[in-house]
Amino acid sequence: MSGTDTHDDAVISRQVRRLESLLEEKGIVGGDTVDEVIDGFLAGASPVNGAKVTARAWTDPAYRERLLADGTAAVGELGFSSGGVQKQRLRVVENTAGTHNIIVCTLCSCYPLRLLGPSPGWYKSEAYRSRVVRDPRGVLADFGVTLPESVDITVWDSSAETRYMVLPRRPAGTDDLSEEELAGLVTRNGLIGTAVL
Amino acid sequence: MTDESARTGRFAPGAHVRTYLHDPPHHTRLPRYARGKRGVVVEPEGPAPLADVRAQGRDDAPVEMIYAVRFTARDLWGEGDHHVVLDLSESYLKEAE
């Protein structure tokens, strides 16, 4: 695995463009319809949302408890949902001193889009999807992350209706930071579980 | 399955289950690597129409409880010290022997 954002999507891109032009030629969709749907789909979808949820959980213990008990409702308190076109159940899984969580979708590329934005290319790659369920420590090493042997790693394979987000550990030495400053420390990979903050 | 059992589910958290070993000729959400494996139910996640039937374009998909099921890497791959959690429909699961 390259660990970068590159992946070869030329073939599928050509197929999609051809399908789109056929639909327009036959008058099934208007010229702007597809762009409008995609813009609506992605509107407001960003890892900034997941970062805000994380910073709130770090600074408000009662919110953290609600987030871990019912992720869907707790992100809803901040005005977020997890799904794309459909609303989906969200489960937030918390990293601790003894446990580390990583998310994947081995069947396709399910992802909490509203909270994390469009997924990176490597998340959809066969290399990541097939390897992380078998050798998560090896995949983490590719991302420059080495965890102690004593840390139990759980890989959450989004194979049905639920979407997962990792609640990263709060970095040490951040007691004096505001909620907004803390949110600035949270990365997309931290929310996937392929980084430690 | 009745509507009532779809709501409450057949398996409780902590139940020991085994996934079926079938290889259906249609779409399924039971990944190949987790077929015929034993695991432990983490929690029921709520009912949903069975994707295997829905993906065939049929509108008679049964509504089944979906469970988060935890597997050890050793049971899945014969090695490793991590865990994998999958979301699996009730009909993919049977009670572990």
Q: pLDDT tens digit string along B28-66?
A: 999 999 999 999 999 999 999 999 998 898 989 999 999
ipTM of the shown complex: 0.92
Give the E-state strand segments of B20-97 in sequence order.
Answer: 38-49, 63-72, 83-89, 93-95
Place of tokens 């259906």: B24
What pLDDT is recorded for position A80? Answer: 87
CB–CB of A152 and B83 under 8 A? yes
Structural domain boundaries, residue B67: 3-95
Local confidence band at B1 (pLDDT 50, 70, 90 cut-offs): very low
Please choose, from the candidates A45, A138, A136, A46, the residue with its C-alpha nearest in 3D space to the C-alpha of residue A95: A136
Q: pLDDT tens digit string along A39-89?
A: 777 778 889 999 999 999 999 999 999 999 999 999 999 988 776 556 689
Question: Does the annotation count A150 as an active-site position?
Answer: no
Mean pLDDT confidence for B19-33: 92
> DSSP letters of A126-166?
HHHHHHHTT-HHHHHHHTT----TTSEEEEEE--SS-EEEE
Paired strand residues for B89: B66
- Using a CB–CB cut-off of 8 Å, the residues of B that contact A are 29-31, 33, 45-46, 48, 51, 66, 68, 70, 73, 76-77, 80-89
Local confidence band at A92 (pLDDT 50, 70, 90 cut-offs): very high
Q: Kindly list the residues from chain B whose CB atom is less than 8 angstroms away from the CB atom of residue A156.
A: 84-85
What pLDDT is recorded for position A8? Answer: 62
> CA–CA separation, A96 vs A90, rounded Å?
19
Mean pLDDT confidence for A163-177: 96
Computed from CA positions of residues B28, B29, B34, B37, in that sequence, does the dihedral angle turn out positive or negative?
A: negative
- The mean pLDDT value of chain A amounts to 90
Paired strand residues for B71: B84
Query: What is the set of domains in chain A, with CATH numbers?
Result: 10-43 (no CATH), 44-192 (3.90.330.10)
**Residue ranges of A for the binding site for Fe(3+)?**
105, 108-110
Out of B29, B33, B84, whose CB is closest to A160?
B29
**Per the structure, how many domains does chain B have?**
1
Place of tokens 């290399």: A127
What pLDDT is recorded for position A13? Answer: 83
Best residue in A101, A104, A133 for a mutation probing chain B (most B CBs within 10 Å):
A133
Local confidence band at B4 (pLDDT 50, 70, 90 cut-offs): low
Question: Does the annotation count A105 as an active-site position?
Answer: yes
Task: Kindly state the helix (H) or strand (E) to which residue A92 belongs, with its residue range.
Answer: strand A90-94
Whether the per-residue pLDDT at A174 is higher than 90: the answer is yes
Q: Kindly list the residues from chain A whose CB atom is less than 8 angstroms away from the CB atom of residue B81.
A: 149, 152-153
> Which domain CATH number covers B66?
2.30.30.50
> CA–CA separation, A188 vs A185, rounded Å?
10
Place of tokens 């707790």: A74
Whether the per-residue pLDDT at A27 is higher than 90: the answer is no
Burial class (CB in 10 A: 0-12, 13-18, 19+), A189: buried
Q: Which of A2, A13, A21, A108 is catalytic?
A: A108
Mean pLDDT confidence for A105-126: 90
Whether the per-residue pLDDT at B8 is higher than 80: the answer is no
